[in-house]
Amino acid sequence: MKLSTKGRYGLRAMIDLARYSEEEPVSISNIAARQGISERYLEQLVALMKKAGLVKSIRGASGGYVLAKSAGEISVGDVLRSLEGSLEPVKCAAFYSDNGCMSAGGCVTKYVWQKINDSINETVDHMMLDELVRESKKLNPCGEPEVQECEA
C-alpha cells in the first residue's frame, strides 16, 4: 500500500509549481533543483499531470509550466490519481457493478476494498493545493531548496 515516487515527487512538484508559477511559468529544472528530484524523471511526471489537465505548458525559451486551473480547484486526489492511476487498493472489475465474482453474486472482500477506497478518496479529494501552498510558505518562507532527509 505504498505510494511510489511518482506520487510523492509529483505532489511535491505540484505544490512547488503552484507556489512559484503565479507570475511566470516555472521550468522543470527550477522545480527539480528546489525539490532535489531528477530533471529527466520529473519531466515524465509533469507530462502525466499535463495529460490529466492539471498543468499547461509554454514551450520554448523562458517557457515552463503553469497550473491549468486555480490551486483551489486542484485536489491532492487529482494529482495523485494523475500519477498513480486509481488509488483503489484492489483493482476489482466488478467494483461498481452488482454482479460480483462469486457464485452467489459478490465477494465478501469487495466491500472491504470499496470502503478503503472511499475513505482514501474522501480524504485526498478534500485537500486542495492552495492549502498546501499556504502551508509551504509558512514552513519555508524564503523558498530555499528543500533538504530531503527523509524519502517522502
Partner DNA sequence: TGTAAATCCTAGTAAAATAGTGGGAATTAA
Partner DNA sequence: TTAATTCCCACTATTTTACTAGGATTTACA
Q: How far is CA 17 from CA 95, 100, 132, in A?
A: 35, 42, 12
Which residues on adjacent β-strands are paired with residue 149? Answer: none
Cα 30 to Cα 43: distance, rounded to the nearest angstrom: 11
Is there binding between residue 2 and a copy of itself (CB under 8 A)? yes
Of 20-28, 46-54, 65-73, 143-151, the window that binds a copy of itself (rule: CB under 8 A) is: 143-151
Is there binding between residue 103 and a copy of itself (CB under 8 A)? yes
Of 40-48, 69-77, 95-103, 138-146, the window that binds DNA (rule: CB under 7 A) is: 40-48
Is there binding between residue 20 and DNA (CB under 7 A)? no
Is there binding between residue 65 and DNA (CB under 7 A)? yes
Is there binding between residue 38 and DNA (CB under 7 A)? yes
Is there binding between residue 60 and a copy of itself (CB under 8 A)? no
Is there binding between residue 122 and DNA (CB under 7 A)? no
Is there binding between residue 10 and DNA (CB under 7 A)? no
Q: Which residues form the interface with DNA (CB under 7 A)?
A: 4-6, 9, 27-29, 38, 40-41, 43-44, 46-47, 50, 57-65
